[in-house]
Structure 1
């Protein structure tokens, strides 16, 4: 679908620019006293996550990107690909490890994730900011900082090791902030 005018770009719209998908973050329409009107647009590349600022003439056209978000069930890992399934049509989608990035350590089997598809190819997987995981084992006691807190190292069900308070026991379920990898609370 072609957008009639650059002036119609709104924040949140996904467009194709130079053959790649971009998310419009902002659009500032400028009509100078002399000359042709133009727009200053800030775009985020959905493949590389880089920001670009671009100036478009008011007569320029951009194509709307063929991007959809689909709720998929994560099934298993196969070499460097992670297999997800659309439960509505039982279609399998393989996601490459580089798309998951460092979040791969938080991936749980039999859990739903929102996968973004561009022209039916996965380009990103959306993770919740918080995850609840079971403590599999506890290790070495770690002395804390200036306020003299002590921690123990817990190995979680995904294999990730995090610092947890001393009252956490094996088989407890803990809430972790995946953005920082830090313990938040114990789940009762």
Structure 2
């Protein structure tokens, strides 16, 4: 399926220059002069190479549809992650770097989706949002307006996120896995 260059999102799988690439980061830029473009950081899913490509809105790229299968994350074994097929209970080991930065958000028993290309697992999709506990949060600075100021906090998995001033250490929050942003306080 062809998509416009400005519709590319992190997590998309693209066929580009004969390879299969996973989009890691995107940055939409609208310069004062000229047309808007999307700066895309991608990783080749077969050989691990990384590249940065600039796509204009007129550019189209082939978005690859992969076969998906539900798995459950069991545990980490060194630099390998062990997943279990929820249908057959068969276990599968994958390298941690296949998940990239999202690996920090894996939790025991978490349901994930493996994407397969020619029966070979090439990416792991986590839920968009996960619940995490704040283990360390900076104190609120007096005089800051609550509407626009965020403070740094560290989650129980070691990831740093910016949170509103009223969030304190020990609070359970919902975090966007791929944007690494605070969404809301957990119920």
Task: Tell me the distance in 2 between the aligned counterparts of 1:80 and 1:143.
Answer: 40
The unaligned stretches of length 5 or more in structure 2 are 4-13, 23-41, 54-63
Task: Tell me the distance in 2 between the aligned counterparts of 1:22 and 1:169.
Answer: 39
Provide the residue aligned with 1:176 in structure 2: 175
Q: TM-score, normalised by structure 1?
A: 0.59
SS in 2 for 1:141: coil
Q: Does 1:95 align with 2:94?
A: yes
CA apart distance, 1:163? 2.2
Provide the residue aligned with 1:140 in structure 2: 138
Task: Tell me the distance in 2 between the aligned counterparts of 1:100 and 1:115.
Answer: 10
Provide the residue aligned with 2:114 in structure 1: 115
Provide the residue aligned with 2:75 in structure 1: 76
CA apart distance, 1:11? 5.2
> Residue 140 of structure 2 contacts residue 165 of structure 2 at CA under 8 Å; is this kept in 1?
no
Task: Tell me the distance in 1 between the aligned counterparts of 2:20 and 2:165.
Answer: 47
Provide the residue aligned with 2:130 in structure 1: 131
Deviations 1:58-81 (A, max 9, x none): xxxxxxx9x531100001111111
> Residue 138 of structure 1 contacts residue 152 of structure 1 at CA under 8 Å; is this kept in 2?
no
Give matches, 1:1-188, under 5 Å. 47=45, 68-135=67-134, 137-141=135-139, 150-188=149-187
> Residue 114 of structure 2 contacts residue 125 of structure 2 at CA under 8 Å; is this kept in 1?
yes
Q: Which moved more, 1:149-158 or 1:75-84?
A: 149-158
Q: Which moved more, 1:95-104 or 1:147-156?
A: 147-156
Aligned length: 145
Aligned-residue CA RMSD (Å): 3.8
CA apart distance, 1:108? 1.6
Q: 1:150 to 1:156 in 2, by over 3 A?
A: same
Deviations 1:77-114 (A, max 9, x none): 11111100012211001111221112111212211000
The unaligned stretches of length 5 or more in structure 1 are 1-9, 24-43, 52-64
CA apart distance, 1:127? 2.2
> Residue 161 of structure 2 contacts residue 181 of structure 2 at CA under 8 Å; is this kept in 1?
yes
Task: Tell me the distance in 1 between the aligned counterparts of 2:73 and 2:108.
Answer: 5
Q: TM-score, normalised by structure 2?
A: 0.59
